Homo-oligomer: A and B are copies of this chain.
Amino acid sequence: MSTIYDVARLAGVSAKTVSRVLNGDGPVGEATRKAVDQAMRELGYVRSNAARMMRAQKSGIIGLITGAIGTHHQPVIKQGLPDLHIVQGVQRALDASGMTVMIADTGGRKDRIPPLIETFLSHRVEGLIYVAEYHQEVTLPRVPDDTPLVLANCFDAIGTPAILPDDRRLQSDLVKRLIAAGHRRIGFLGLRTEMVAAKLRRTGYLDALAAAKIARDDQLITHVDFDEPVVGAQLLWDSIDRMLGIANPPSVLCCGNDQMAMMVYGILRSMGLRVPEEVSVAGFDNYRAVSETLYPPLTTVELPYNAIGARAGERLLAMISGEIQKDQSPILVAGPTHWRSSVTEVRAPNLVSFKRFREENE
């Protein structure tokens, strides 16, 4: 690979002049510039980042770590999408700044995180972003104080800057929308209670009920570990069977995520129930591979992974450029509700409740 010296020789100028052409600092004569450009093209010159950053003491690299599993026993990446969308969001935010994003995937192995951080540091990254697969608490090895770190989709005990989905608000928005559509008996099939998101969403669900002055009914609330290989489906079947068997059964089931909703479709139908005519179904995530493809398409709220990534990127840039904002609380990000045909409007469009819904959510 050729160097500026090669280019300089070919163009008959000094290396410094080539550098000036490259960077557009200092003035360069028109003829000289042309000669240099020509020489660069002829040699297929690409400038070495190593040499450059050595001098500049700046790498222009952001390190991003993804794919680590949480504390849960299930190491399998089934979904994998959050990572991807968050990464894209990060990239979008950093694009304009001229930073290069280096991504390292742990392949689900926690023990790979320290060496990865080490590698990043050896590349003198200007900042680090850690992306978790799902909303969770994490514990990362310490990084040097002069390397800013942002957590995306997770948080830690020592108050590292974090960007998190606003699960509570999202669930509340969705349930409010269901209420606005006329639903009063709303079943809540939550995720495993150990999951951070599960608790928050449950709270959001209760928020919405309270706001509409609908009494809470614990028969309508359950948490299911539907993800478990075989028993998962059975547990879910049982929960649904129980919930639909009560005196005043729900007209809609709010599922912990879109995947659960997908399973619920199958279960309801195998019970001989039509979706959404007899039971409506709502999801969570707007995991589009599912929500848009399900038949009928799924009403759900969008977990704004892209935005989370973008915010994380922006925040990191701010930290790099020196704005002191170390001890800010986590940034919460919400997203839109996607209204699709898996949920019926219980009455003919109820203008009053619609209007109220919109007023309350401006």
Contact of A289 among B122, B267, B290 (CB under 8 A): B290
What are the residues of chain B within 8 A of A87 when measuring CB–CB?
Answer: 105
> Are A122 and B47 within 8 A (Cβ)?
yes
List A residues 91-109 near B (Cβ within 8 Å): 91-92, 100-105, 107
* CA A76 to CA B80, docked complex, whole Å: 16
Q: Which of A252-278 contact B (CB under 8 A)?
A: 259-260, 262-263, 265-267, 269-270, 274
Any B CB within 8 A of the CB of A70: no
* B-chain residues with CB within 8 Å of residue A320 when the two chains form the complex: none
Give bound CA distance, A102 to B84, whole Å: 15
Give min CB distance, A24 to chain B, whole Å.
Answer: 17
Interface string of A275-314 (1 = CB under 8 A from B): 0000000000001111011111000000000000000000
| Residue A349 is within 8 A (CB to CB) of chain B in the complex | no
A54: chain B residues at CB < 8 Å are 48, 50-51, 54
Whether A1 touches B50, Cβ cut-off 8 Å, given contacts A105-B91, A289-B290, is: no
> How many chain copies does the complex carry?
2
Known: A50-B59, A122-B46. A292 touches B229 (CB 8 A): yes
Asked whether A241 is an interface residue with its Cβ less than 8 Å from the other chain, the reply is no
Q: How many A residues touch the partner, as a band?
A: 35 or more
Select the residue from A76, A83, A88 with max chain B CB neighbours within 10 A: A88
Q: Which residues of B contact A289 (CB under 8 A)?
A: 78-80, 259, 287, 289-290
Name the contact of A50 in the complex, choosing from B44, B53, B76, B259 (C-beta under 8 A). Answer: B53
Contact of A146 among B1, B260, B288, B290 (CB under 8 A): B1
Interchain Cβ contacts under 8 Å between A and B, 7 examples: A80-B80, A80-B81, A88-B105, A101-B104, A270-B274, A270-B295, A289-B289
